[in-house]
Structure 1
Amino acid sequence: MTPQAITINSKLPQPSAIQPAADPVAQKVLAYLTRVGQLGAQNAQDVQRIEAKLDHLIALLEAQAQRPALPPAQADNLIVDMARCIYRTVANGKMYWHVRTTRYARHGVALWPDPETLAALDISEEWLKSLPFDRETPWLHKVCIALDAEGKKPKIIGLA
């Protein structure tokens, strides 16, 4: 650091100056101001990172707000359960998807790949078709399950 003169009062006939090399207090003040400037630059980078994360979070929340609402159903016919895994099987030449949940752990709950359900679950048909046959894929989500009028035939209708 080269010694510089700092003008304190320029209205005096001969401006007073502090020589950093001569005054230890001025050296401390300059060191402090330099450190504050460095911290300001570091904080600016932190603020930019936080702003990027906030932008991402806002985009996720907006996407979730645009999800279609669950179809109207009676409260008695809806169950909220924790999904643990998803798998697909083939029977009689047709593909079926099932989700094992806490309540339906043995056989799972049917998942019909219609566009409304897939949008409500925030998954794509391509992803479903990429699942391996007869092998469970971990899928931890809270799901909403609809039952028919008799309280049978559970079907996943969206995320809870």
Structure 2
Amino acid sequence: INLTLADAARWFVIPPAALMRQVVSALDILPEPLREVTRRLPDNQLSWSEKLQLIAAAMPQDALVLHRQAQTLHWVLNTIRKHNGGLPVESLARDVGWSTRRLQRAFSAYVGLSPKRYSRIVRFEALCSMLRRQEHLHWADATEMLGYFDQPHLSNEVQSLAGMTPDMLSGSIRAMTA
């Protein structure tokens, strides 16, 4: 079975950053009580519901806590994407009932990037998507739609993340989609 990093993290309570660029056996990353359960799962006399109940009963409490944390972090990831990276980390932390520092630490351990850096990348991806969809995008419009403070801020972000000016990025994207 092939899983994405996010799926593996949900099922095995492992931060995706810990699994990057690796192929691992599910048995190697399961909590010990669940390894025993896996020996019973091939029993064809058990329904899927019964098998899932076995897994839930064997899940250690700390794994359940980590699973809840992973669910919270998934919500944060999805919210950042939904808002094109435009929400402040403080706002996200408040929404999940965590301190900003706790969110930063947990997010960095889970994703491998800080929430601010991840948001910057998401916002940059949103800009690239806009450039692919709109032939004559005005930088002032992009600045406003994506929540950049001003055009120099947008320009600095593009330079920092792509190593080129916004006009060069626009030309590159148009050349690739032509």
TM-score by length of 1: 0.29
Write 1 or 2 for the structure with the bigger share of strand. Answer: 1
| Structure whose CA Rg is larger | 1
Write 1 or 2 for the structure with the bigger share of helix. Answer: 2
